[in-house]
Structure 1
């Protein structure tokens, strides 16, 4: 029997966020929990959809349903609801490279950019993450692996005004520093060596930046995230959202 990941209390927290409830338009789903467990099994093991254990049902039916929910951003809505409990007194920003399997290449051009690029390690995707003061993911974005880190900082922050933002030296740009100063947000970012005026650094706050590294270590325990197999970025992003939601439920 395939191992399940959700406890009863965890599933109850997300049950009302899923389609197919009584009262929803369309057919009422009788197996939402088993379906979510099936997708979690794929995310955890990194296995091809065809290898899904038969006890979860027909693999293609599960895959097609996963694809529909991805297009409808169901996984993102579940993650966003759980991440609503984030503590934004301190936030930490960083990115991690995910190597892409050869099967991830070749999405039709009409599908647009798929957040794939060639970096030093080959074909890859970057997950740009903003975690809160407890090391929990609050927001994320995907780009190709060749993309720089700093351009994604402002889109990640959006209208957020935390007490402080900690990031490594790669984020020391005039645009970000000026944005943080404008909203009276403390910039816990080391100055680049070529800056004429070196900013003071709150080292005790900067030491906590390892929280974002710990998050990356946790989410990459899901093998479908540690290596990208999905051609479409929306499918890969759905796995990131689902795995992060599960971490919020633990």
Structure 2
């Protein structure tokens, strides 16, 4: 139980100096950074309501407030980006996955008009789409959230804009010649996207290399082992994305 819901000592050693509140960092030195991170990890792994968080982690309201603060300031993303510097950029794979948004995730206060919390309505009800990229070894390199009904190309516009990879692997949903394929080819990248059968011109696709695309499916399977990600309970896209960055960091640490 502890191994599934807590950090190993070697994992903690790799990230402890990336967190605010460490010794020598500007501001107040925290005495419970590891306990706090493990509290967030516990909730992300189990998907339990915040008020059911075990008492050993302290007041759940304090933990949630601190989680929101770290999400807003980009702490979780910063840890993920640091770990992802070791990515193998021989090629990049992109895909998306829809997660059901629990009814408790709806109704966030809209302090800023027009701000989208990445929740939309589709045939399955309320949902959020997680767009993700992984490297040649299947390790995560980037994320973007949209409402569930959004087309996959919206995520590609964001995640592939500055990708350092030499090749891009994706399924037929990304077969958009003018919007995606041509810009990637002009950037000198190999495009491994099967053409739709209805295309007048059947673009060549390296079928052998395309077989490696199962790695991103494997990553989504790992990501959805975290129950608070497999089903979205967070009201704000910011906090939900923060949880995704934490889970993805654990994938890197493993």
TM-score normalised by the chain length of structure 2: 0.95
Alpha-carbon deviation of 1:63?
1.1
Question: 1:146-161 counterparts in 2 under 5 A?
Answer: 146-161=149-164
Give the corresponding residue for 2:123.
120
Alpha-carbon deviation of 1:2?
5.7
**What SS class does the counterpart of residue 71 from structure 1 fall into?**
helix
**What SS class does the counterpart of residue 88 from structure 2 fall into?**
coil
**What SS class does the counterpart of residue 231 from structure 1 fall into?**
coil
Q: What is the count of residue pairs matched by the alignment?
A: 250
CA distance in structure 1 between the aligned counterparts of 2:64 and 2:200, rounded to whole angstroms: 55
CA distance in structure 2 between the aligned counterparts of 1:248 and 1:163, rounded to whole angstroms: 22
CA distance in structure 2 between the aligned counterparts of 1:109 and 1:142, rounded to whole angstroms: 17
Q: Which of 197, 200, 205 lines up with 1:201 in the alignment?
A: 205
Question: 1:188-227 counterparts in 2 under 5 A?
Answer: 188-227=192-231
Unaligned runs of at least 5 residues, structure 1: none
Alpha-carbon deviation of 1:110?
2.4
Alpha-carbon deviation of 1:10?
0.7
Q: Which of 236, 240, 245 lines up with 1:236 in the alignment?
A: 240
CA distance in structure 2 between the aligned counterparts of 1:2 and 1:207, rounded to whole angstroms: 36
Deviations 1:196-242 (A, max 9, x none): 11011111111111111100000000000000001100000000000
Give the corresponding residue for 2:84.
83
Cα RMSD (Å) of the superposition? 1.2
Question: 1:54-133 counterparts in 2 under 5 A?
Answer: 54-111=55-112, 112-133=115-136
**What SS class does the counterpart of residue 168 from structure 2 fall into?**
strand
**What SS class does the counterpart of residue 161 from structure 1 fall into?**
coil
CA distance in structure 2 between the aligned counterparts of 1:81 and 1:101, rounded to whole angstroms: 31
**What SS class does the counterpart of residue 18 from structure 2 fall into?**
coil
Give the corresponding residue for 2:40.
39
Give the corresponding residue for 1:167.
170
TM-score normalised by the chain length of structure 1: 0.97
CA distance in structure 2 between the aligned counterparts of 1:12 and 1:20, rounded to whole angstroms: 15
Give the corresponding residue for 2:50.
49
